[in-house]
Amino acid sequence: MRDRFVNQALTKWMEGTGKESEIVISSRVRLARNLCDIPFPNVATAEQAKAVVSQVERAIKDAAVEQTSGDLIFVNLEELAPLDRLVLVDKHLISPQHAEEAAGKGLILRADEAVSVLINEEDHLRIQCLFPGLQLEEAWELASRIDDILESKLDFAFDEKLGYLTACPTNVGTGLRASVMMHLPALVLTNQASRVLASLSQIGMTVRGLYGEGTDATGNLFQISNQVTLGRSEEEIISNLVVVATQLIDHERMARQVLLKETKPQLEDRVCRAYGTLTSARIINSQEAMTLLSNVRLGIDLGIIRGVSPQVLNEMLVLTRPAFLQKLAGRELSPFERDVQRAALIRERFNLDG
């Protein structure tokens, strides 16, 4: 089972199902939790970190015996090769920070990969639920169930006034971060993205790139998430983000209609050129691939390109990444070799759809 997590690119959040899936790629809910009487991971000793891993692994096994979570699987990150850890990053199952150093770290995964629990990342536990489309309420309900299962077995650090105690002060309180990954090409093409997204900080939201904090919005993909957890209930945080996501969806749809009405020939040319390049290129780097795939996905959603699954962009977010290309090749590849293999893989994928 563990090998499947790193050998198979496709995962639940790529399914292209769920509400508003033509614009919202995925919904994520993450809960930060820490164990009592053990220092946070950044100051814990190696023995203390191992103690956290052991306690969590034991809790999961106990829960499985009680038949409350039999499909949760424990993975010791120290047993995974560095490349395999990077594949998990590409699939959004762990963070880049979690993959850097595996000592004293673990991971819990549900068989369908909708649940991943990071052990000893910034906090002792990061409970993450990742769903396709706009399904924040569903992701929150599942995360809450997993949280209850773990809290019945573990003693979490909690203060009556402050709430759950976390390594980063911005997570204190509920410990909840919710986010949606959105594809907003029309807002970018109509030069509205900067203005619309900049206004979100005024209402307690933050905008990041594809792989979270410190990453760029490659392929017109943006992660929108809450900034504040203290003083707000989980339901309020989720509800506010749903409202914001819905407003962004409306803005993106209006921008797409403007493009079709006012610049349809130019839009069709952009989309068809992107499709032509992707289906014929022999060498393509990651940045160019993401830009072209974004244009093609927009063309699919607007009916300019037919016979290609809109799911293709979601899949390519993982399939074309350096780690997975090397995993497929079974060896380390130079940047040039990756560009060649990426082009070949994209051609093959589109031929399957065509």
Q: Is 133 helix (H, G, I), strand (E, B) or coil?
A: coil
Q: What are phi and psi of 118, to 5 degrees?
A: -85, 125
Joined together, the tokens standing for residue 174 give 């509920």
pLDDT of residue 67: 46
Q: Where are the domains of the chain?
A: 2-256, 263-353
Q: pLDDT per residue over 241-274, tens digit each? A: 999 999 999 999 999 999 999 999 999 999 999 9
Query: What's the confidence (pLDDT) of residue 4?
Result: 54
294: helix, strand or coil: helix
* Angle between helices 264-280 and 286-301 in degrees, nearest 10: 130
Question: pLDDT value at position 251?
Answer: 96
Q: Give the single-character DSSP code of 232.
A: S
| Best CATH choice for the domain 2-256 from the list 3.90.79.10, 3.30.590.10, 3.40.50.150, 3.30.930.10 | 3.30.590.10
Q: Assign 354 a pLDDT band (cuts: 50, 70, 90).
A: very low
In 3D space, the residue among 327, 343, 340 whose CA is nearest the CA of residue 289 turns out to be 343
Q: Is the dihedral of CA 121, 125, 126, 130 positive or negative?
A: positive
Number of C-beta neighbours around residue 297 at 10 A: 27
Give the residue-averaged pLDDT of 113-121: 94
Q: What is the pLDDT of residue 68?
A: 46
Report pLDDT digits (tens) over 327-340: 989 899 999 999 99
Mark the binding-site residues, compressed into ranges. Answer: 26-30, 92, 126, 177-181, 208-213
How confident is the model over 31-44, as a mean pLDDT? 95
- pLDDT computed for residue 285 by the predictor: 96
In this predicted model, which residue has the larger pLDDT, 72 or 130? 130
Between CA 4 and CA 87 the distance in angstroms is 11
Please check whether residue 63 is in contact with residue 149, taking contact to mean a CB–CB distance below 8 angstroms. Answer: yes
Binding-site residues for ATP: 26-30, 92, 126, 177-181, 208-213
pLDDT score at 219:
85
Residue 1 pLDDT > 80: no
Output the pLDDT for position 201: 84
Neighbours of 37 (CB within 10 A): 7
